[in-house]
């Protein structure tokens, strides 16, 4: 739906220029309700402590433990074979409204892509915010090193698919093209009014693709419902930094247990199982490595 309104060239241009691009209304009403129901069941299960893979308050970065006593702000590993609604999430992860823009943005074919992360970001039990950061570039490096890291070719993309209206993602547009300014370097990590910052406004059913090294943060309120599917895909042969960014979440511990052989039937989409199995095989080639962590809460 939404991908028909923007050409592949326009998608690439906006992502390259701004560091993010929003595609409106990619979900039908039925798809939206199906995903909301699956997310509600998964979130309830996680809040009861019945799913060990969660993002716990107040910790921002992995590793997280399974203690939900202070609340959670995310549910990890939606493609895990033991999650009851795994097939619903897999049908979304491999859906045309994701695959088509990913292949357009990365200028590749589905057979080039590797299965990465699929998680759920939810309403926290209390207001919560992430500090300003770039996903795989630490804050304590020099401007020259930061500039060099930002010039590394992009071999992946990630997205937020909102099931309710959402403006939790705060970015500094075009900041993926440059090192931080002196103001940005010296600002409080939780500064609410960084020069040029923008809240990315999403309506239910919109998807935003963004460069994960844009300067960004998340600001989450306990007063508004939030169910946003947060995923990523990459091209096979990505560098060690990308492998670390993916594997730090623990996906390598269970990916070889995934079985997508019935996905074509359950999703009603021919060829989906074969495509998903290919994504999985390409991840398994890197999924057993101990790659460390990209960021720290310390």
Question: Which domains, ranges and CATH numbers included, belong to the chain?
Answer: 2-284 (2.60.120.620)
- Which pLDDT band, with edges at 50, 70 and 90, does 265 fall under? confident
- Quick: pLDDT tens for 195-216: 999 999 999 999 999 999 999 9
pLDDT of residue 153: 86
Q: Is pLDDT above 90 for 3? A: no
Phi and psi (nearest 5°) for 154? -80, 120
pLDDT of residue 1: 46
Percentage above 70 pLDDT, the chain: 91
Do the strands 156-162 and 169-171 form a parallel or antiparallel pair, or are they unpaired? unpaired
- Quick: pLDDT tens for 98-122: 999 999 999 999 999 999 999 999 9
State the distance between the two ends of the chain, measured CA to CA, in whole angstroms. 43
- Quick: pLDDT tens for 155-180: 999 999 999 999 999 999 999 999 99
pLDDT of residue 5: 74
- Quick: pLDDT tens for 120-157: 999 999 999 999 999 989 999 999 999 999 998 889 99
- Quick: pLDDT tens for 232-250: 999 986 555 666 667 675 7
Calculate the alpha carbon distances from 106 to 7, 100, 233, 236, 238 in Å: 13, 10, 10, 12, 12
Using an 8 Å Cβ cutoff, are 93 and 118 in contact? yes
pLDDT of residue 2: 45
pLDDT of residue 242: 63
- Quick: pLDDT tens for 276-292: 999 999 888 875 554 45
Mean pLDDT of 45-72: 95
């Amino acid at each position: 739906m939404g991908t028909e309104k923007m050409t592949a060239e326009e998608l690439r241009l906006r992502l390259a220029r701004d560091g993010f691009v929003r595609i409106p209304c990619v979900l039908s009403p039925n798809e939206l309700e199906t995903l909301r129901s699956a997310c509600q069941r998964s979130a309830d299960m996680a809040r009861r402590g019945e799913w060990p893979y969660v993002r716990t308050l107040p910790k921002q970065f992995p590793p997280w433990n399974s203690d939900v006593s202070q609340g959670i702000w995310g549910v990890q590993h939606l493609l895990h074979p033991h999650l009851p609604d795994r097939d619903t999430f897999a049908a979304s992860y491999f859906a045309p409204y994701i695959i088509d823009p990913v292949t357009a943005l990365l200028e590749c074919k589905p057979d080039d892509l590797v299965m990465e992360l699929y998680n759920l970001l939810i309403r926290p039990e209390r207001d919560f915010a992430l500090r300003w950061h770039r996903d795989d570039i630490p804050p304590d490096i020099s401007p020259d090193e930061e500039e060099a890291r930002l010039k590394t070719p992009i071999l992946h993309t990630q997205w937020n698919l909102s099931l309710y209206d959402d403006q939790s993602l705060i970015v500094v547009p075009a900041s993926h093209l440059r090192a931080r300014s002196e103001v940005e370097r010296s600002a409080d990590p939780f500064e609410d009014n960084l020069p040029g910052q923008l809240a990315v406004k999403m309506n239910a059913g919109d998807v935003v693709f963004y460069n994960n090294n844009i300067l960004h943060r998340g600001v989450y309120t306990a007063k508004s419902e939030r169910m946003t599917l947060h995923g990523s895909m990459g091209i096979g042969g990505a560098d060690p930094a990308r492998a670390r960014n993916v594997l730090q979440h623990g996906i390598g511990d269970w990916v070889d247990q995934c079985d997508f052989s019935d996905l074509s039937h359950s999703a009603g989409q021919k060829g989906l199982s074969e495509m998903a199995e290919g994504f999985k095989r390409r991840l398994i080639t890197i999924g057993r490595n101990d790659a460390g962590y990209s960021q720290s809460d310390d």
